[in-house]
């Protein structure tokens, strides 16, 4: 029988503090109607000072481990997709390893922005296929609120904080990951970027005055690239799994914008009930968006054993990815 990797448990964590569109009306020149119509977002969760990326990632991981019935000491590897680490060194994955007490696990971060979780899941898939006895944590976790310019009305309404995790193990039944697809195009890096806080642009007064420590996005251009890449990787992923559109039971795409999700649903000719949407509650949490949605779908009973599930993402870099699995 074919050995596959499968998700044995999911978990998620978002900060308690909620920032609604009404709250934003008192902060910047915007309105609840404008935000909801253009993005689909009604509220987002914001981490207070003192609650860091690794805290959210660890909480999500503990929930996933509990569901999977796996002890942290059994973990062989921890992979975290993130663009907002606690610090440049050590990695979020190492801080999570310490927090969990996963003393037998290797740990590293993946920098693939909004595609970070699917990149992490794809790496986990390869490690499991090499040795099905392995147990791996794939995580997507972000604190985007600290890289958001709250004076920029075009971006501050979008981004938020949260984490999601999945325990990946070997499978000897029909469930598991069927295909993975990873892509990138660095030629258009400047359409969605955080220039500062790296080594190319050291932190100084000039950088701070330009706001290069925050997310910069050319929204219309990003939208055009995103819809094209997401549709393409959806078809590529399903073709590798041997599926047609009719075989798909649930699509979980990166929760970036309701218009992108509606476009994908129409292009893939899917009924509304086959497209999972929770952007209204959480906003754009980058690498955390798919694992948060996956956990919510799982715990709500939206996912059933034997379901064909497609995960697709797109983010800065640009990066985009797709994963198909039988639940």
Tens digit of each residue's pLDDT (9 = 90 or more) over 22-36: 999 999 999 999 999
Could you tell me if 86 and 188 lie in one domain? Answer: no
Question: What is residue 276's predicted lDDT score, i.e. its pLDDT?
Answer: 97
Kindly give the pairing relationship between strand 43-45 and strand 308-315: unpaired
Q: Which of 173, 208, 231 is the last residue of a domain?
A: 173
Span 279-294, pLDDT tens digits: 999 999 999 999 999 9
Question: What is the chain's mean pLDDT, rounded?
Answer: 96
Same structural domain, 165 and 303: no
Q: Tell me, what CATH number does 293's domain have?
A: 3.40.47.10
Please identify, among 148, 173, 198, the residue that sits at the C-terminal boundary of a domain.
Answer: 173
**How far is 303 from 296, CA to CA, in rounded Å?**
9
Residues 84 and 196 in one domain: no
Let me know if 114 is a catalytic residue.
Answer: yes
Among 254, 257, 298, 308, which one carries the catalytic annotation? 254
Q: Predicted confidence band at 1 (pLDDT cuts at 50, 70, 90)? A: low
Co-location of 120 and 224 in the same domain? no
Statement to judge: residues 224 and 132 lie in one domain:
no
Do 194 and 231 lie in one domain? The reply is yes
Over 80: is that where the pLDDT of 188 sits? yes
Burial grade of 61 (CB within 10 A; 0-12, 13-18, 19 or more): buried
Q: What domain range is 144 assigned to?
A: 4-173
Catalytic residue among 21, 53, 284, 298: 284
166 lies in the same domain as 190: no
Which listed residue (13, 94, 114, 156) is catalytic? 114
User: How many domains does the chain contain in total?
Assistant: 2
Task: Indicate the residue among 132, 149, 173 that finishes a domain.
Answer: 173
Q: Is the pLDDT of residue 303 over 80?
A: yes
Could you tell me if 127 and 196 lie in one domain?
A: no
Q: What are phi and psi of 194, to 5 degrees?
A: -125, 100
Q: What are phi and psi of 168, to 5 degrees?
A: -110, 125
């Amino acid at each position: 029988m074919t050995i596959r990797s499968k998700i044995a448990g999911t978990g998620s964590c978002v900060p308690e503090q909620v920032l609604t569109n009404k709250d934003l009306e008192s902060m910047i020149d915007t309105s609840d109607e404008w935000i909801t119509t253009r993005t689909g977002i009604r509220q987002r969760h914001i981490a207070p000072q003192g609650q860091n990326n690794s805290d959210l990632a660890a909480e999500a991981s503990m929930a996933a481990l509990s569901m999977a019935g796996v002890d942290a000491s059994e973990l062989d590897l921890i992979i975290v997709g993130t663009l907002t680490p606690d610090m440049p060194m050590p990695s979020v994955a190492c801080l999570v390893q310490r927090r969990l007490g996963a003393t037998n696990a290797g740990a590293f971060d993946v920098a693939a922005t909004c595609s970070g979780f699917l990149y992490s899941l794809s790496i986990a898939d390869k490690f499991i296929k090499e040795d099905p006895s392995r147990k791996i944590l794939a995580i997507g976790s972000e604190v985007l609120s600290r890289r958001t310019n709250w004076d920029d009305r075009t971006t501050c309404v979008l981004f938020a904080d949260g984490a999601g995790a999945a325990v990946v193990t070997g499978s000897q039944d029909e469930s598991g990951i069927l295909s993975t697809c990873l892509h990138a195009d660095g030629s258009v890096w400047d359409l969605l970027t955080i220039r500062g806080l790296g080594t190319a642009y050291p932190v100084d007064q000039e950088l701070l005055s330009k706001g290069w420590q925050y997310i910069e996005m050319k929204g219309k251009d990003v939208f055009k690239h995103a819809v094209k890449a997401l549709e393409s990787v959806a078809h590529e992923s399903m073709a590798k799994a041997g599926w047609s559109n009719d075989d798909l039971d649930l699509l979980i795409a990166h929760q970036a914008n309701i218009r992108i999700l509606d476009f994908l649903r129409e292009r893939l000719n899917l009924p509304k009930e086959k497209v999972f949407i929770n952007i209204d509650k959480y906003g754009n949490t980058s690498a955390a968006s798919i694992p948060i949605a996956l956990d919510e779908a799982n715990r709500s009973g939206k996912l059933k054993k034997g379901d064909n599930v497609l995960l697709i993402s797109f983010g800065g870099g640009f990066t985009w990815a797709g994963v198909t699995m039988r639940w």
